[in-house]
Structure 1
Amino acid sequence: MLRGRSVRHGDFTLVSGQKSEWYVDAKLTTCTAAAMPLVGQVFLDKFAVRGWLPKAVGGLTMGADAIAASIAYASLSRGLAIDSFVIRKESKKHGMKKFLEGMIDPAGAPVVILDDVCTTGGSTVLAIERAREAGLEVLGACCLVDREMGARAAIEEPLECPFDRIFTLAELI
């Protein structure tokens, strides 16, 4: 489903500025009703393998949003109650001026940071940093598709944060 809906071949410039002949628009898959139960289950399977027991999951909006909601819903079928949250790219300019949405009391909550596609890891790094600033305990980071272009190196050692993925780009092409 991901390969058929989200992977495109051509001449693309990525967010990182790098050129690629492959583009992955994972939201074309993760936002579909048919994919959501599958997305939730594969991430929960990965968390079980890693020993991650998060109270909530989320990441930088938009890439993480559909994945986080899918995991939250699927968690109920396993007797878990994993909530989802959203990290804004910029804090709100009004009200409480926060950048973390969906959690009443984030202090110390164990979470997994999500992303749909990781290239250099910039969005995931920002999400991890913002989550930690909000007081969350980041157990790890996981993306749906890892392009294997530096995300792991940007996340694991410098941030002391375990990183995993569901698929690599090579597996999809």
Structure 2
Amino acid sequence: MSDYTSRLARLLLELSYVEGEVTLTSGKKSDYYFDCKQTALHPEGGWLIANLFLEMLQGRDIAGVGGMTLGADPLVSAVSVLSYEKNCPLAAFIIRKKSKGHGTNQYLEGLKNFPSGSRVVLLEDVVTTGGTLLTSVERVRDAGLQVDDVLCVLDREEGGRQRLAQAGLNLGSIFTRAQLLAAGR
């Protein structure tokens, strides 16, 4: 395990991981909540996540990264900025939950940075069932881009990986819950 991974685990456990019964976006009950935005918006946390995602993206022939607002906003921004600094520039885009409703009425922001047919990877903070990601993939493909894979900070291991695989997508994660708890010790 890299120093980045162990340091990120400690930050995630300190800032983003809360034990206790909650209802998730999927409607499922859980014994913990994972609010990755708290860590992704922390200066070191965002930097660590971006570095680890860039390691996972190394060697892939992609034009950029994107994700559904709001959870992916700090992730795609940090990866895009750091990729430029590391001389492997990746553009970023954000997927709206609802179309703009005026002007171009688009779902994607940042689309002008991508020629039609560009290959991209979606980033997500936490994956539970994969439902939000499947909606995201549909919107990205409708906009003329090719989705290669999905990367997340935390895979809750509650069916999302399998659901994405059924749609032909691979899911890579920095952590599963068990890995996060073990790495944070």
TM-score normalised by the shorter chain: which range applies?
over 0.9
Native 8 Å contact 1:27 1:63 kept in 2: yes
Deviation at 1:172, TM superposition (A): 2.2
| Secondary structure of residue in 1 paired with 2:22 | strand
Q: Give the length in aligned residue pairs.
A: 170
Cα gap change, 1:106/1:129 in structure 2, threshold over 3 Å: closer, same or farther? Answer: farther
| Secondary structure of residue in 2 paired with 1:8 | strand
Match of 2:25? 15
| Secondary structure of residue in 1 paired with 2:169 | coil
Match of 2:145? 136
Q: Tell me, yes or no, if structure 1 residue 152 matches structure 2 residue 149.
A: no
Matched AA of 2:133:
T
Measured in 1, the distance between the counterparts of 2:26 and 2:115 equals 30
Deviation at 1:161, TM superposition (A): 1.5
Match for 1:52 among 48, 55, 60?
60
| Secondary structure of residue in 2 paired with 1:35 | helix
Native 8 Å contact 1:121 1:151 kept in 2: yes
**Bigger fraction of residues in helix:** 2
Same amino acid, percent of matched pairs? 38
Q: Tell me, yes or no, if structure 1 residue 79 matches structure 2 residue 118.
A: no
Measured in 1, the distance between the counterparts of 2:135 and 2:37 equals 20
Question: Which is further off, 70-79 or 134-143?
Answer: 70-79
Match of 1:5? 15
Measured in 2, the distance between the counterparts of 1:46 and 1:57 equals 12
Measured in 1, the distance between the counterparts of 2:173 and 2:142 equals 24
Deviation at 1:135, TM superposition (A): 0.8
TM-score by length of 1: 0.94
Match of 1:117? 126
Structure 1 unaligned regions, length at least 5: none
| Secondary structure of residue in 1 paired with 2:43 | coil
Measured in 1, the distance between the counterparts of 2:173 and 2:82 equals 18
Provide the alpha-carbon RMSD of the alignment. 1.2
Measured in 2, the distance between the counterparts of 1:165 and 1:128 equals 17
Deviation digits for residues 71-109 of structure 1 (CA, Å, limit 9, x no counterpart): 011112321110110000111111010001112144111
Deviation digits for residues 57-79 of structure 1 (CA, Å, limit 9, x no counterpart): 11110111100011011112321
Match for 1:41 among 43, 51, 74?
51
Q: Tell me, yes or no, if structure 1 residue 66 matches structure 2 residue 74.
A: yes
Deviation digits for residues 89-141 of structure 1 (CA, Å, limit 9, x no counterpart): 11111101000111214411111011101000111111111111111011111
TM-score by length of 2: 0.88
